[in-house]
């Protein structure tokens, strides 16, 4: 590797970052604390490899979101635009899909289509409605257990015990439903997110396939390594002998255990990957030292021993604030008032980030923002391709790309006026019968659409003609359905929805075929908020903590940091779950640059909802929850504590002469019914 004086890309890095960029080890794990320049280091490593003569197509960056991949590609460009434009950055699922689609002879599943979570739920609901009902469980719950089994490489029985420990369910009934779901997927040539990884991993178990795939890359960089799960490790392990891995992560930000992420794997990296070197980044460029002192203290309280102490390059600032309220409504009112006060001081709305525990827990805050006309975006929010009107249009493309796609057929046909589920199902059955009789997909489609409006068959034929020009196909589908959709969404802001369809057409312009287009934005979704022009992006960001990694703002409000929420009452009794809860709070505390405001309610906590309504249970659980509360032992020196709770005046005792009788007749006078 080049020395710093030769390689200009490292000149602006600190010593630890420079060492991480120039490392010559065959495999590397960089433990990068919050705000320590993780992305900067990854980008510098890629640019360094390019300067060393590594061909850009032999470098692969794996991220956990499309947004992170786009940021890496953008920042790599710099003065290396020509070469860096060929550096691939994508999610694990995107990578697996690229390999599978690129070599159908090796991986199979040519022409199968990827279905998102909504479509999976529809398929599972169909299974449950056809006699495979599971008492007490919804389709979403069964799919959650199934996904957990796949990602943790557990049996379904083991996953049921982990995910549904307190529910009285019939495991065999779940198994039967899952088997029927899998059969339905195979019949309709569907792949789920997890299936894509499983296909890739299964073929990599063949040493010759692993050697062939590994030979494509000089180095694979993996971001957010702490969030990898056993299924993803099943992809990494067989490639280790055939390429270099450069992994970056933070053990203190591992917060996806509920999805199967394996927190322990980052600690065993050096043992698991022969020849690996572990490096650390601890100089924080984001926050002031006072904010980091609170975050460092939280980790020091853990029995796990994170051996992490972040140092603020920016130096000192204001102490974090800890505000206590009577009710969530009071808490929400305070946050809204602070935002309005800052606006009066001419601070942009985009100065602020409000972090909540869940979408549900953020509703009181959202209500106050709406009441006060404070512009905000719920980070993540609606995925563009999951919006109802976009899914309507894409259903027409899907029946062309995968003629067996029953979900797409049903959605498309029921858009036709006066066509309901029964008529649509008959048309699809006619299509299948024609296919079984040897008809081509287009001939079977014509047979199935007899009796339907002529515009539908003509429109699908036109889309099929444009299948290799995906933006044209999207435009034809939108034009075919425009009158129907304009009527359907006439009272639901149709003008804005129509603009979304223009965005979809633009996104499709560079894709080679319909399946490639659908898969890219299903596996790495784009959100409607990302389509806004920059002039409309001055708004407060509201986000769940789990969606907030990578976010930072000058002011951050960590809301609802109350007993019963940190740790969650449901985590009590499980050390691993409690420690993941600690890491969730750590992520929240490390989002602020200048001002960190922690808010909590001290008299209204989730404990009652958790244990039920029996007063003795609530009282006992309340004590247990308060004892486990992360901020119980918080040193006064670390925060500016500001209570907003008022002491309740005691009621005056009645004088003795007002003492009432020992018993009152509570019976009703029956009158003449006696």
Q: Is 35 annotated as a binding residue?
A: yes
Q: DSSP secondary-structure letter at 625?
A: H
- Cα 10 to chain centroid distance, Å, stands at 32
Which of 80, 70, 83, 60 has the alpha carbon at shortest distance from 8?
80
Using DSSP's 3-state secondary structure scheme, residue 278 falls into strand
Q: Which helix (H) or strand (E) holds 312?
A: strand 311-312
Q: In 10 A of CB 500, how many CB atoms?
A: 19
The β-bridge relationship of strands 244-249 and 27-32 is parallel
List beta partners, residue 222: 62, 247
Residue 214 CB burial class (10 angstroms; 0-12, 13-18, ≥19): middle
Q: In Å, what is the CA distance from 470 to each residue of 419, 456, 515?
A: 28, 19, 9
Q: Is 662 annotated as a binding residue?
A: no
Alpha-helical regions (H) of 167-319? 171-188, 193-204, 207-214, 230-239, 263-267, 269-272, 289-300
Using DSSP's 3-state secondary structure scheme, residue 422 falls into helix
State the greatest distance between any 2 C-alpha atoms of the chain, in Å, as a whole number. 108
Q: Is 33 annotated as a binding residue?
A: yes
The DSSP line for 367-398 is HHHHHTT--EEESS-SBGGGSHHHHHHHHHHH
Strands of the 244-249 sheet, one edge to the other: 88-91, 59-63, 219-222, 244-249, 27-32, 276-281
Alpha carbons 267 and 304: distance in angstroms, whole number:
11
Q: Which helix (H) or strand (E) holds 553?
A: strand 553-558
The β-bridge relationship of strands 311-312 and 113-114 is unpaired
Please list, in sequence order, all residues whose beta carbon lies within 8 angstroms of the beta carbon of residue 490, skipping any fewer than 6 positions away: none
Q: Is 671 annotated as a binding residue?
A: no
Alpha carbons 233 and 424: distance in angstroms, whole number:
43
CB 24 within 8 A of CB 275: no
Tokens at 428, concatenated: 């699809």
Q: Is 36 annotated as a binding residue?
A: yes
Q: In 10 A of CB 439, how many CB atoms?
A: 16
Q: In Å, what is the CA distance from 600 to each residue of 368, 520, 558?
A: 16, 40, 9
Alpha carbons 284 and 233: distance in angstroms, whole number:
29
Residue 297 CB burial class (10 angstroms; 0-12, 13-18, ≥19): middle
Alpha carbons 650 and 633: distance in angstroms, whole number:
30
Q: Is 34 annotated as a binding residue?
A: yes
Alpha carbons 530 and 269: distance in angstroms, whole number:
35
Binding residues: 32-39
Binding residues for ATP: 32-39
């Amino acid at each position: 590797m080049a020395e710093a004086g030769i390689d200009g890309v490292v000149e602006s890095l600190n010593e630890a970052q420079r060492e991480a960029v120039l490392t010559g080890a065959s495999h590397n794990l960089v433990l990068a604390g919050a705000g320590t320049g993780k992305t900067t280091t990854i980008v510098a490593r890629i640019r360094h490899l390019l300067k060393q003569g590594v061909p850009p197509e032999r470098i692969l960056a794996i991220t956990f979101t499309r947004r992170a991949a786009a940021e890496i590609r953008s920042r790599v460009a710099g003065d290396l635009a020509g070469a860096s434009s060929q550096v691939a950055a994508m999610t694990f699922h995107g990578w697996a899909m690229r390999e599978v689609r690129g070599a159908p002879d090796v991986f199979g599943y040519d022409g199968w289509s990827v279905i998102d979570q909504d479509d999976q739920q529809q398929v599972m609901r169909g299974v449950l409605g056809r006699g495979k009902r599971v008492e007490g469980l919804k389709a979403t719950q069964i799919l959650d257990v199934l996904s957990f089994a796949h990602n943790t490489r557990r049996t379904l029985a083991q996953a049921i015990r982990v995910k549904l420990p307190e529910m009285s369910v019939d495991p065999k009934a779940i198994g039967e439903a899952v088997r029927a779901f899998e059969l339905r997927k195979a019949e309709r040539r569907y792949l789920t997110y997890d299936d894509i990884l499983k296909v890739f991993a299964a073929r990599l178990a063949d040493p010759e396939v692993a050697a062939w795939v590994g030979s494509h890359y000089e180095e694979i960089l993996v971001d957010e390594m702490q969030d990898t799960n056993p299924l993803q490790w099943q992809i990494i392990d067989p490639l280790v002998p055939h390429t270099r891995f450069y992994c970056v992560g933070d053990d203190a930000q591992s917060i996806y255990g509920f999805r199967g992420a394996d927190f322990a794997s980052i600690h065993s990296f050096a043992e698991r990957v022969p020849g690996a070197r572990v490096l650390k980044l601890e100089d924080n460029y984001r926050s002031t030292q006072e904010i980091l002192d609170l975050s460092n203290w939280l980790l020091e309280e853990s029995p796990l021993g994170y051996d992490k102490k972040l140092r603020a390059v920016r130096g000192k600032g204001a102490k974090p604030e800890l505000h206590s309220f009577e009710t969530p409504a009071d808490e929400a009112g305070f946050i809204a008032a602070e935002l309005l006060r800052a606006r009066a001081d001419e601070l942009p709305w985009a100065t602020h980030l409000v972090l909540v525990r869940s979408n549900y827990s953020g509703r009181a805050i959202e209500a106050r923002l709406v009441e006060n006309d404070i512009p905000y975006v719920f980070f993540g929010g609606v995925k563009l391709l999951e919006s109802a009107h976009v899914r309507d249009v894409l259903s027409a493309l899907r029946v062309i790309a995968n003629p067996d796609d029953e979900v797409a057929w049903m959605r498309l046909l029921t858009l036709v006026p006066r066509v309901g589920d029964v008529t649509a199902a008959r048309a699809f059955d006619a299509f299948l019968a024609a296919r079984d009789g040897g008809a081509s997909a287009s001939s079977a489609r014509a047979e199935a659409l007899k009796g339907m409006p002529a515009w539908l068959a003509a429109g699908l034929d036109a889309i099929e003609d444009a299948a290799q020009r995906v933006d044209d196909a999207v435009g034809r589908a939108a034009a075919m359905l425009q009158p129907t959709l304009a009527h359907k969404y006439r009272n639901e802001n149709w003008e804005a929805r129509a603009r979304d369809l223009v965005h979809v057409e633009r996104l499709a312009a560079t894709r080679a075929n319909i399946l490639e287009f659908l898969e890219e934005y299903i596996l790495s979704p784009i959100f409607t908020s990302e389509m806004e022009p920059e002039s409309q992006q001055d708004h407060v960001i509201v986000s769940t903590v789990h969606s907030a990694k990578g976010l930072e703002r000058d002011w951050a409000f960590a809301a609802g940091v109350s007993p019963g929420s940190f740790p969650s009452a449901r985590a009590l009794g499980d050390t691993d779950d409690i420690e993941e809860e600690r890491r969730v709070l750590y992520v929240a505390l490390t989002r602020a640059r200048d001002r960190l405001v922690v808010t909590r309610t001290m008299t209204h906590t989730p404990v009652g909802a958790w244990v039920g309504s029996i007063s003795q249970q609530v009282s006992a659980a309340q004590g247990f929850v308060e004892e486990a509360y992360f901020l119980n032992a918080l040193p006064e020196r670390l925060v500016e504590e500001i209570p907003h709770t008022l002491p309740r005046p005691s009621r005056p005792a009645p004088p003795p002469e007002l003492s009432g009788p020992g018993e009152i007749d509570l019976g009703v006078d029956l009158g003449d019914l006696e």
